[in-house]
Each structure stands twice: as structure tokens, then as C-alpha cells.
Structure 1
Amino acid sequence: MVIPVIAYYAVMSVLAYVTYAVDKKAAIHRRRRVRERTLHLLGVLGGWPGALLAQQQLRHKTRKTAFLVGFWLSVVLNLACVWWLIFQLGII
């Protein structure tokens, strides 16, 4: 049961990383951006490790305090859901 969870987090992390990269490129070229709520949703759904890596490697979304608060709240929410699945439902 652990392998599918790891695979899920890997897929979501790649998706989040790519989405951050697309948003960074859009910001550079002054094009339409990815909504912040979309980035946060990816974090809640398990993509936060990839999002964190993208923030550091791409130097994207690292200065806006309101965004960072939302990002870390999405991490906490995701981890709380995983904890609940593990300990309350016996899943994973």
C-alpha cells in the first residue's frame, strides 16, 4: 500500500513542479499566469514536495508572504489528511 502512495506523491510533485515552471515562464514573458489557488490546490493534493523544489530551484513564489502562508497551510492540510487516512481509516 505504501508504493502507490509514493507513486501518487511523485506524480503530483512532477505536476506541481511543471505548473510552477509554466507560471514562472508566464511571469517572465508577462503572459497570463496560473492562479495561486491552483498552485495551492496542487499542494493540498500532494504536490507540495515538487512545489517546494520548484520554488527553490526556479526562485519562484519565494518572496510574497501571503502566498507562502497559503503554501505552508496547504502542506499542513495535506499532511493532516494523510495522518487521518493512516490512523483513523487504516488506509496506507
Structure 2
Amino acid sequence: MELGVELIIGVDLDIESLLLFWNVITFGLMMIDKSQARKRGKRIRERTLFLCAFCFGAIGIWGGMYRFRHKTKHRNFVVGIPLLFILNLFAYYYFRWH
């Protein structure tokens, strides 16, 4: 089964390209949140980060956690994000090959 998404601009992208793009965005969210934490600026809610991770963005969040040393002392992130990554893998497998 071929999974693809045709965007409004008429470009047909496969699911892997979309997942890569989404995870680059979630990685960037961690960078932005770390920057805002340092400046004591407006932060991204933890529930938003978890929602993004749940929606196939866990590897980007996970990578951002360790690249920017952000949220690595929060047990819910240290345990939850890898679990969401495993859930993402199972869901990807299910949607891709079933």
C-alpha cells in the first residue's frame, strides 16, 4: 500500500518525508523552548510538547531534549518521550504495512 499526501500546492510527498519534516519542527520546538527558558520568556506548554511527540514527533522532541539539555531532569519527559517514540514506531508500522 502506498501512503502519500498531496499538499495544497500539488506536491505529492511520501509519509517518511512528512515524518522527517514534522520531527525537524518538533526538534525546533525544543530549541525555542530552551531559548525562552533562558530568557525567562514565553514558554511552550509541556502538554503541547507531549502532544507533538504523540503525533509522530517523539524522535524530534527526544533529540532536542539531549541536544539542548532541556527537560532531561523531568522524569515525565525522560520516561514518557521514549515510550511515545516506541508507540510512534508501532503506529507507523501498523499504518504503513496494514
Does the aligned pair in 2 maintain the 1:41–1:74 contact within 8 Å? no
Give the partner amino acid of 1:51: I
TM-score by length of 2: 0.75
Work out which of the residue numbers 45, 54, 78 in structure 1 matches 2:55.
45
TM-score by length of 1: 0.79
Moved over 2 A (4+): none
**Which 5+ residue runs of structure 2 have no aligned equivalent?**
4-12
Q: Whose Rg is larger?
A: 2
Matched, 1:36 2:46: yes
Q: Which has the higher contact order (CA 8 A, sep 6+)?
A: 1
Give the partner amino acid of 1:29: K
Work out which of the residue numbers 21, 30, 38 in structure 2 matches 1:20.
30
SS of residue paired to 2:14: helix
Q: Residue deviations 1:3-40, cap 9 Å, x none? A: 71210111111110111111101110112211111111
**Which 5+ residue runs of structure 1 have no aligned equivalent?**
none
SS of residue paired to 2:26: helix
Alignment root-mean-square deviation, CA: 1.9
When you count strand as a share of all residues, which structure comes out higher? Answer: 2
Q: How many residues align?
A: 88
Matched, 1:55 2:65: yes
* % identical equivalent positions: 28
When you count helix as a share of all residues, which structure comes out higher? Answer: 1
Deviates more, 1:15-24 or 1:78-87: 78-87
